[in-house]
Amino acid sequence: MTKEEIEKLRKASALGDKCFDYICKQIKIGMTEIEIAKLMDTFFVENGASGLSFDTIVGSGPNSAQIHSTPTERKIEFGDIILLDFGCVLDGYCSDTSRTIFVGEVKEEYRKIYEIVLSSQIKAIEEIRPGMTCKEVDAISRDYIKSFGYDFNHALGHGVGKVVHEEPVISPKREDIIDNEMVFTIEPGIYLENAFGVRIEDTVLLRDGKVEPLSRASKEITIL
Ligand SMILES: [Mn+2]
């Protein structure tokens, strides 16, 4: 990526951060997933985005266990977990961020899984270096998650640019080398079928040998 492209990606991610802050203030018990997704989509467009990187995901309660759920008429309840995966296109460049939040309280089982996913994501952010293969990068988060007896059925990440899913694909099957000036996502998750799921995703820049997150929305446990 060129400096100019990186700045555009940074701005797109920053708009994603603002959308997250906005929606956290808007979500109320009784709202549907579709209503929440529409509010996010409208926020993006009203704040300069030309469109969305992909269809916004709002998965609440058991719907959070689906990797890519489509928003439904399910109403938000007290004690819910909500998985949000959202991105906009700003000045021709995409953002892609996921956060998992809680309504009213955090059940102990949710907190436990959240902390494993978050630690696995931070571990990748801290340990990724240029010259690693995609497989090695993927393994940083995945091996950590596996050490608790879980796994996830998707790649750890993907490149982001003018299109939301670009090379490199950071999966256990890929031997491509990652390098400085690359922008990609780090998005580990744990999904417990028919129960709930957690994914935490940042779009990051690899520069000067280290990972710098472009998306900076809070990853502290967020209880609405
Ligand atoms: Mn993604």
Spelled out in words, what is the top-level CATH class assigned to the domain 3-213?
alpha beta
In the prediction, which pLDDT does 94 show?
98
In the prediction, which pLDDT does 15 show?
98
Residue 42 CA, ligand 1 centroid: distance in Å = 20
Segments of the chain scoring below 70 in pLDDT: none
Residue 22 CA, ligand 1 centroid: distance in Å = 20
For the chain, give every domain's residue range: 3-213
Residue 87 CA, ligand 1 centroid: distance in Å = 9
Q: Distance (Å, rounded) from C-alpha 178 to C-alpha 195?
A: 35
Residue 201 CA, ligand 1 centroid: distance in Å = 7
Q: What Å distances lie between residue 131 and 128, 136, 213, 223, CA to CA?
A: 9, 10, 19, 39
- Ion ligand 1, residue ranges at CB < 5 A: 96, 185
Residue 206 CA, ligand 1 centroid: distance in Å = 16
In the prediction, which pLDDT does 84 show?
98
Q: Distance (Å, rounded) from C-alpha 160 to C-alpha 168?
A: 9
Amino acid at 60: S
Q: What Å distances lie between residue 39 and 100, 122, 191, CA to CA?
A: 17, 29, 25
In the prediction, which pLDDT does 62 show?
98
Residue 145 CA, ligand 1 centroid: distance in Å = 18
Residue 27 CA, ligand 1 centroid: distance in Å = 23
pTM of the model: 0.98
